[in-house]
Amino acid sequence: MTLEQGKPLAESRGELRRAIENVEVACGTPVLIQGYNSEDIAAGIDEIMIRQPVGVCAIIAPFNFPAMIPFWFLPYALACGNTIVIKPSERVPLAMQQVFALIEKLKLPSGVVNLVNGGRDVVNALLDHPTIRAISFVGSSATANYVYGRAAAAGKRAQCAGGAKNPVVVLPDADLAATSEIVADSAFGCAGQRCLAASWAITVGEAGRPFSDAIREKAASRVTGNGLDETVQMGPVITGESRSRIEGLIAKAISEGARAVVDGRNAKISGFEKGSFVRPTVIEGLPAASEVAHTEIFGPVLSVHHVENIDDAIALVNAGEYGNMASLFTTSGAHARKFRYEVEVGNVGINVGVAAPMAFFPFSGARKSFFGDLHGQGRDAIEFFTQEKVVVERWPKQWTRKF
Ligand code: NAD
């Protein structure tokens, strides 16, 4: 090409590399061309893949999003032709009853979508029932791990989403006013009872002091109270037992060396003296190796840590045991790209505090935050709720008879 056309050798080599790349991609044609329809794989031979319903599927849900989480699975399972049993959390049985009042109006054939209530024993009955072929679980990691193991041992397919301990990393080039607002919403929204809630903030370099000052102010000014009051920003935690557990973990963090710079314990909300309220809490100075630093608090508690550079921040993120979400706050594209590739989590936020995927993306999760392979929502859900069947057919020309 250089002799004939005149371009420099480096350009000729580059052109040829591009030609070779096309040959390599074209070698994948059997896969690239494959649809779910008939393929003429050899003379007179077709191969097709069909998807069929898995059968009876069960959904076991947690307390924190009683109406939404079953829908990560229910409409996909139904659209794929399965029948479904839903077991909500025993702590919030009413929301699904409302949903079922609407489902009744669809006049689906009886037995297609079913509701059962109960706790551990009902879960075990579902896991052991031979007719149930697939389990979709969302809850704490210990239970997710247990459910995954027991379902798999019984030969069922299972997708089990577990707990979280989500870090947000704040770089010095971030817009700190916007960042502190977004992080406060992430950490204290839903009273911190959200699997994508920020539960620790890692500040880098000069972001440390200004972020820490801003987040304290946001925490202290958040309005806590009765959720029916439109001016309230944060309601109670789920039970008194949960409140005691969260307050116990704050006390333990302090005993492990942390300072509660905003302390939300012993909250008294006028008119709701018996409510399970914990106000927003910010702790600083918790040693990274301490027990609380690795425990999911699932309450409105943000722990602030400080490191000198982004590599240390990513190392800290990856040293955590959970892998649900990690977010970065920055105005640098290069740092955003590095973070997105290097953090070992299922959902990544860049300047986003709650990186919840839209319904056409899988609700991912990694390490102790997810057991299984196919997730809820989108294309993953279609694969989970269908059984693939591949058919090879031989129809040679000579078998075609004239009538
Ligand atoms: P949980 O694990 O206590 O309960 C979840 C479900 O499992 C409930 O239906 C419950 O009845 C059942 N269950 C509880 N203990 C069981 C046992 N020993 N054996 C069998 N079944 C049992 O969880 P929770 O407190 O309701 O929900 C909060 C947890 O869920 C948090 O850890 C949170 O991070 C997690 N969560 C994760 C996601 C995600 O997408 N990864 C989403 C929401 C909540």
Q: What's the pLDDT score for residue 28?
A: 83
pLDDT-derived band at 53, boundaries 50, 70, 90: very high
Q: Ligand 1: which residues within 6 Å by Cβ?
A: 60-64, 87, 89-90, 119-120, 123, 138-140, 143, 146, 161-164, 195, 296, 298, 324, 363, 365, 369
Distance 146 CA to ligand 1 centre (A): 11
Average pLDDT of the segment spanning 315-324? 96
User: Which tokens sit at 262?
Assistant: 């905003």
pLDDT over 80 at 155, yes or no: yes
Ligand 1: distance of its center to the CA of 222 in Å?
27
- Structure tokens belonging to residue 395: 């129809």
pLDDT in tens, 57-75: 999 999 999 999 999 999 9
The verdict on whether 195 is a catalytic residue reads yes
CATH topology of domain 166-350: Aldehyde Dehydrogenase; Chain A, domain 2 (3.40.309)
- The confidence score (pLDDT) of residue 283 equals 98
Q: What is the distance in A from the centroid of ligand 1 to the CA of 138?
A: 6
Handedness of CA 215, 216, 221, 224 (dihedral sign): positive
What would the pLDDT profile of 124-148 be if each residue is shown by its tens digit?
999 999 999 999 999 999 999 999 9
Ligand 1 binding pocket mutation candidate from 59, 63, 368, 374 (most atoms within 8 A of CB)? 63
∠ CA 39-46-25 to the nearest 5 degrees? 35
Q: Is the pLDDT of residue 41 over 90?
A: no
- Per-residue H/E/C for 126-152: HHHCCCEEEEEEECCHHHHHHHHHHHH
Residue 376: what pLDDT? Answer: 96
List the chain domain ranges. 2-162+369-394, 166-350
State the DSSP code for 163. -
Q: Is 371 helix (H, G, I), strand (E, B) or coil?
A: strand
Check pLDDT > 90 for residue 3: yes
CATH of 2-162+369-394, one of 3.40.605.10, 3.40.50.1110, 3.90.1150.10, 2.60.220.10: 3.40.605.10
Ligand 1 atom 24: the closest Cα is on which residue?
A: 62
CA-nearest residue, atom 17 of ligand 1? 120
pLDDT of residue 12 exceeding 60, the answer is yes
Q: For a pocket test of ligand 1, which of 143, 148, 368 has the largest count of ligand atoms closer than 8 A to its C-beta?
A: 143
Query: For a pLDDT cut of 70, what percent of the chain falls above it?
Result: 98
Question: What DSSP string describes 232-298?
Answer: -SB---S-HHHHHHHHHHHHHHHHTT-EEEE--TT---TT-TTS-----EEEE---TTSSGGGS---
Q: 140 alpha carbon to ligand 1 midpoint, in Å?
A: 4
Encode pLDDT of 272-289 as tens digits.
Answer: 999 999 999 999 999 988
Residue whose C-alpha is closest to residue 274's, from 243, 313, 232, 298: 243
pLDDT in tens, 101-130: 999 999 999 999 999 999 999 999 999 999
Q: Give the number of the atom of ligand 1 that is nearest the alpha carbon of residue 65.
A: 43
To the nearest whole number, what is the mean pLDDT of the chain?
95
- Mean of pLDDT values over 152-178: 98
Report CA(401)–ligand 1 centroid distance (Å): 62
User: Taking 60 as the threshold, does the pLDDT of residue 233 lie above it?
Assistant: yes
Q: 36: pLDDT confidence band, cut at 50, 70 and 90?
A: low
Identify the residue whose C-alpha is closest to ligand 1 atom 33.
163
The atom of ligand 1 lying closest to the CA of 296 is: 32
pLDDT confidence tier of residue 327, bands split at 50, 70 and 90: very high
201 CA → ligand 1 middle, Å: 24
> Cα–Cα distance between 287 and 204 in angstroms, integer?
16
Residue 123, Cβ neighbours under 10 Å: how many?
Answer: 22
For the segment 218-242, the average pLDDT, to the nearest whole number, is 96
Ligand 1: residue of 85, 89, 160 to mutate (most ligand atoms within 8 A of CB) is 89
Q: What is the pLDDT of residue 401?
A: 81
**Residue identifier of the C-alpha nearest atom 8 of ligand 1:** 89
Q: What is the pLDDT of residue 38?
A: 62
Among the listed residues 134, 90, 122, the one whose alpha carbon sits nearest the alpha carbon of residue 382 = 134
Cα–Cα dist 183/178, whole Å: 9
